[in-house]
Structure 1
Amino acid sequence: MRALAWHGKHDVRMDTVPDPEIINPRDAIIKVTSTAICGSDLHLYDAYIPTLQKGDVLGHEFMGEVVEVGPKSTLKKGQRVVVPFTIACGSCYHCGKHQYSACPNGLPADNQDIARELYGHEMSGLFGYSHMTGGYAGGQAEYVRVPFSDVGPIVIPEGVDDDKVLFLSDILPTGWQAAEYAEIEPGDTVAVWGCGPVGLFAVQSAFLMGAERVIAIDHFPNRLALAAKFGAETINFEQSDVYDALMLMTGGIGPDAVIDAVGLEAHGLYLDNVIDQIKASTFLGTDRPHSIRQAIIACRKGGRVSMPAVYGGFVDKFPLGAFMEKGLTLKTGQTHVQHYLPGLLNAIMEDKIDTTFLISHRMPLEKAPEGYKLFHDHQNETTKIVLKPGMAADA
């Protein structure tokens, strides 16, 4: 089959690789009908995430048709399903608490030591996202093996277009969890750093959860315009000082809750960010955490910090003093996708949540390398690329 494989920094290629096979009785094989390039895929493209190996198949946002099932799968051939990017067993301690992204059984035994060494504990497996998260082949391919298929995938009703439900695989539940972790109360003012896909869904979710005001922060005009369509006020950090603007907009109090949807590759010519970039380029550091620093400093006393953004390693200059003195709380983590799927699918079916606004490009799977470069280099015009296996290569 054809699949997109990682070969190094800014080097992804369409390769011919072996077809997936049933390995475990709970497995299923999915014929991919739609898959997307995620903002966190760009961290792989930029070689920021450790333990990638040449030839690894990428992609963790995908859906498709069930074509083969193991004897213990609950899926049936011919069903259309969306597959969560987190791989969880459904029966361990953490799954019992609906903490699916903490499931240790989602990682093969020989991958667990990598995660323990870096983070102290293993996390769940993830599709197409390094050997630290299981080394599973991802969904930017014609076919995918889905472990624990009796737990993860959600069956999509007939007649529902892929574009409406594809983002249930990751970014919609991630944006929703981000807003939920902000513990939004009616009348709250919420500030969101980053108007990429997760940030935009966090904006939409915050309003649905009762926020009175949402302030979206970015520097790409098109993305800020998309946030404004949902009713958000906006700050372009290249034109305004973010802290000063937020204090002015909130009467000097600060936002009740802040959401960091930027992560380890923050942009901006700020002194701390420039230092972080130098450290990263000279292998003296990993992440560029400017946005979470700024969010903590701007948040009101007693406020809440939600961090759906991806960070990979250690950070310095973390404003721990401000965090403690202001009495803030922080919630973060990979998304417990399986927990949110039924409710969010219902919200889509009832037209309470729109997802299709985000798609800026549809491309054949064979053009995935071009899609990565486009998304990486033109983020103002490129909000979401959906790849279609089987679409003519000249489309």
Structure 2
Amino acid sequence: MLTDVKISFFLATRILKRSSKAGTLLTIFIIALVFTNMIFLSSVIGGSIELMNQQTVDYYISNIIIKPKDDNRFIDNSSGLVSKVNRIPGVYHASARYEMGASLVHKSNEIALPVSVFNPDDERMVTKIHEMMKEGQFLTREDRGQILIGNYVAGNKDESKDFFESLGGVKTGDSITVNYVNGVSRDYRIKGIFQTKSYQTDYMVFVSWNEIEDVLGYPLDKSVEILVKTEPGTREDRVKKTMMSFGIKEDVKTWKEQAGGLFDESIESFQIINNITLLVSLIIAIVVLFIVIMIKTLHNRREIGVLKAIGIDEDIIIQSYVLQTLIIGIIGIVIGFCIIQTLILYFSVYPIEFPDGNVSLYVESGIMIESAILLLIASVIAGYFPAMRIAKEDILTAMRG
């Protein structure tokens, strides 16, 4: 068995050396591009998913979110709960949020949108919204009569450019009217406009906790959610278990649990596109290698007849051509891997700009290994059938050419 493999390998290398170098190099380059194509789209999809996950943590949910338990609308004594959470091992900081229904009015534009409330000092330690100011400044604890709005809420003067209903292109310093559901109406100066490129976050508006207490007319100590940022390097699920062991009975979820179905449909659509691209790439690889090996076997038809005449088994001849395609496939995959690494480096410096953020390539080693294995299987298939067709011919027919 080992002798047969050695003979097959000797024949394979001999045929490759005698083949056209330009043709062999071109085939290898095509396989390298096929491998690159197999990885590239999945890496873009992986980068998009990573971006969405990062945006969810940085701007929308943070690492862990605490919601009211059962059918309760609010978390009571939220200040006490925040203090308790801040003392739990693995927690970096917590920030309570409250929401109040309202309509926002600017000139002839009016949109219904809940006003979110937070303590700006706490929020700075939990999310990164304050780092994404498009214009103006982030809120402070003492701010009264000022409001912070998302880029999609501000909108554009040309409504066709808006993703959602907007205030028609307001800027920092403009005045808007907020009509709260409790009947209070307030005029606010826009202190800042943030742009995180997260669709959920950029369609939000914020006022400070002290401001909403003025609107309500009494001290507020309840919240609709508490965002919790964990210490760097800690696992959210472990911190969640620790929080529950400390007697927190509210609904505690990690960001993955909370956002579980948020992007599922988009990811599923991406995956379908990726699978189609993968299938097309494999078909291209099989067709290219099949044609190359078919041409080689036809060109070497007499030589194959001679080999059979001197006693070389037809299985050894078939194996030699399969080994050729494997050698070409392996070299192509190695070159394709180098191309992918170069692209990763390039797009880390110059990311792809999408409406929802800048995407760099994210390549999972498992996907790369899977693609390499599939391409090698395709190489074996492409090398086996044309070689078998010629090797199965009787000796006289093959030697006639």
Fold agreement, TM-score > 0.5: no
Q: Relative contact order (C-alpha < 8 Å, sep 6+): which is higher?
A: 2
Normalised by the length of structure 2, the TM-score is: 0.23
Which protein has the bigger helix share? Answer: 2
When Rg is computed on C-alpha atoms for both structures, the one with the higher figure is 2
